[in-house]
Amino acid sequence: QVQLVQSGAEVKRPGASVKVSCKASGYTFTNYHMHWVRQAPGQGLDWVGVINPSGDSTTYAPKFQGRVTMTRDTSTSTDYMELSSLRSEDTAVYYCAVVRVGYWGQGTLVTVSS
């Protein structure tokens, strides 16, 4: 069955970086874009960006431009999202998702605290 398994929770200091992984299985990884979405505690959904199936093109939401990097390792069917210069407002659950077909990861809580 389809699975998107994300890496575990992270606690980071302000100014640090975090890299979240998303390992896919059960479908043809290179057929679909992977989106990243975040949700701050008690808040709504916030689209972060997307990487294309071959991993050579990304589009990021303007609010994250310059701080986010999405990469893809097709050999391991794993996507990565790295967010730098973390601030407290980046505290959120980060999801990877193949939105077109409704596959979502379980979410990764990133806590930014001094």
Partner 1 sequence: DIQLTQSPSFLSASVGDRVTITCRASQGISSSLAWYQQKPGKAPKLLIFDASTLQSGVPSRFSGSGSGTEFTLTIDSMQPEDSATYYCQQFNNFPHTFGQGAKLEIK
| Count of residues in the chain | 114
Fill in the DSSP letter of residue 88.
G
Q: Check residue 8 for interaction with partner 1 (CB under 8 A).
A: no
Q: Check residue 41 for interaction with partner 1 (CB under 8 A).
A: no
Residue 94 near residue 38, CB atoms below 8 Å: yes
Residue 52-81 contact track with partner 1, rule CB under 8 A, x = bound: -------xxxx-------------------
Among 8-16, 21-29, 81-89, 94-102, which window interacts with partner 1 (CB under 8 A)? 94-102
What is the 3-class SS of 11-46, one letter each residue? EECCCCCEEEEEEEECCCHHHCCEEEEEECCCCCEE
Site residues for partner 1 per CB under 8 A: 35, 37, 44-47, 49-50, 59-62, 95, 97, 99-102, 104-107
